[in-house]
A and B are shown apart, each in its own frame.
Chain A
Amino acid sequence: MSELVEKRFKITEVSMTQHEAEELPNLLGDASTPVCASFFQVRGELPGFLLLVMPVHEVAALLEPLVGQGEGEMADSAIGEIGNIVGSAFLNHIADHYHIYAAPTPPQVFRDMIGALMGSLAAVLVSGGKLEVPVVRTQLTQNEGVLSAFLLWIPESFSLDELRQSK
């Protein structure tokens, strides 16, 4: 990803917390905040969901030097590709750590209110009987400072205790 956007990125501030599914829309702040997001369903032995979420204004600043525009088809394609790179790196690390197989679906790219995305995900979780879920949250930073981008991993089959015991 660093080569793609010609900036150096690091994943920092990993946190693991337990939430009611219905808290998800406000997990990253105001539910009406417009964001760009790459969303993946995770298959394999560690089913769940993975999202790379960035505020719309930061995406424009990130992508304009790369594709010449902050929005549109090219920009959305780049968001999906960035999500692919970051998400795959994260999942590979998780899969190695737990000695399991995990693979993401192709990304779905969103440019919408964070609450609409996370609320819809909460509905999927609640419909599957998951009223509480663990959330692994990371902050992405770049060499010019903190980027308000988050990678969220919501495993369906692991509890928070199981995740912590396996650290």
Chain B
Amino acid sequence: MSLAIGLGKYAVGKDVRQDWVIYGLGSCIGLILCERWEGVLGMAHIVLPASPEPDPPEPARYADTAVPFLLQEMERLGAIPNRIVAFLAGGARMLEINGAVGDIGRRNLEAVREELAMRRIRVGGESVGGTFGRTLRWNAAEGLAIVSRFGAADEVLTPVPCRPVRPGGGQA
């Protein structure tokens, strides 16, 4: 049974043995942070680029609070920040909406990339943009981030399996 992560929600864990999944990403960003030495994993379903307040009740909802919050939670579990690698999916332009909202998908993507770059977190793989939806799955058994689309073949974002390398480390 997979753990489904809804809009604005997140998950963090060590030695994760369950698949985590974000179904139907459109303009939202699915962010996976992996620290394989300590086997610590974080995943967030980011909805908007910027929080309207400094300390929002749902920090994973906004790119500018989700990234530092997820890193902080991972560090609590022993993750070393400079060993963390990011994988991204989503940021599509699904809807043509008249008004001031603009292209939320593009703005989400820019905000997440900026937050990661500020903290020198390397992006190891991504499937972003376009005008179509995506499902992002963390395959715990294989240590792979996999993107599925309607009517297209699955895409593996992780260039190599993101599994623990530390002797005695658990399976992430």
Task: Write the residues of chain A forming the contact surface with B, with a CB cutoff of 8 angstroms.
Answer: 21-22, 25-26, 30-32, 34, 39, 41, 43, 105, 108, 110-124, 126-128
Contact = CB atoms under 8 A, between A and B. Distances in A.
B65 interface: no
B42 to A, nearest CB: 19
Given A31-B23, A116-B26, A123 B98 contact: no
A39 B95 contact: yes
A120 B104 contact: yes
Interface residues of B, number: 29
A127 B102 CA distance: 10
A115 B28 CA distance: 10
Q: Which of A25, A116, A118, A121 has the most CB of B within 10 A?
A: A116
Nearest to A56: B150
A126 B59 CA distance: 14
Interface string B13-55: 0000000000111111000000000000000000110000000
Q: Which of A105, A113, A119 has the most CB of B within 10 A?
A: A119
Given A112-B94, A116-B25, A119-B47, 13 more contacts: A25-B7, A31-B24, A32-B24, A41-B98, A43-B98, A108-B96, A113-B23, A115-B24, A116-B132, A117-B26, A123-B47, A124-B95, A127-B104
Given A25-B23, A112-B150, A120 B101 contact: no
Contacts of A26: 6
A121 B101 CA distance: 11
